[in-house]
Amino acid sequence: MTETGFEPKIVAFVCNWCSYVGADIAGSMKLKYTPNVNLIRVMCSGRVDPEFIMEAFRGGADGVMVLGCHPGDCHYIEGNYNTLKRYSMLKPLLDQFNIEQDRLYLDWVSASEGEKFARVMDEMNDRITQLGPLNWDKVIDTRQGGEV
């Protein structure tokens, strides 16, 4: 927790085949990383619908991550390419909902990259800590078209 008492709430959608195993490896290696990231295991990062990301923000997340297999290594062949396309379209749209783009992050973490997994978690935590809590007074609710 910081001096201000703010501890970010971060949601990470992680690929079952690579990133989730990377998290497991980080644990096996007893690597320390921020404990305030809630992992949601998905079969493929390509299955993460933009609505899932917006729902995570609506549910109280200060930051959202999507972690998948490295391009070319997807268990489902093109899933991570679909992820990249969706991410590239969604990130600029966050501005329309008054959510800073830095609150959404995409990265590739393989099953053997436990150290990278831990580093990415800490980097995201630091980024969101610097941004501070998501200002819900300014966020536009995408379900109702009005402010929350």
Residue 95 resides in a domain: yes
Residue 96 resides in a domain: yes
- pLDDT score recorded for residue 17: 96
Going by C-alpha positions, the residue among 148, 115, 135, 129 that lies closest to residue 37 is: 129
We report the CATH number of the domain holding residue 30 as 3.40.50
Residue 141 resides in a domain: no
Dihedral over alpha carbons 83, 87, 90, 91 (to 10 degrees): 170
Per-residue pLDDT reduced to its tens digit, 40-93? 999 999 999 999 999 999 999 999 999 999 999 999 999 999 999 999 999 999
Q: Which residue is listed with tokens 């396309």?
A: 85
- pLDDT score recorded for residue 138: 76
Q: What is the DSSP code string of 9-50?
A: -EEEEEETTTHHHHHHHHHHTT----S-EEEEEES-GGG--H
CA–CA separation, 127 and 140 (whole Å): 22
| pLDDT higher than threshold 90 for residue 146 | no
* 69: containing domain: 10-131
Residue 2 resides in a domain: no
Per-residue pLDDT reduced to its tens digit, 90-105? 999 999 999 999 999 9
The predicted model scores a pTM of: 0.91
Total tally of structural domains belonging to the chain: 1
Going by C-alpha positions, the residue among 93, 99, 33 that lies closest to residue 60 is: 99
Per-residue pLDDT reduced to its tens digit, 118-144? 999 999 999 999 999 998 777 876 555
Residue 76 resides in a domain: yes
Cα angle: 38, vertex 40, 43; to 5 degrees: 160
Residue 85 resides in a domain: yes
- pLDDT score recorded for residue 148: 46
| pLDDT higher than threshold 60 for residue 26 | yes
Residue 142 resides in a domain: no
Residue 148 resides in a domain: no
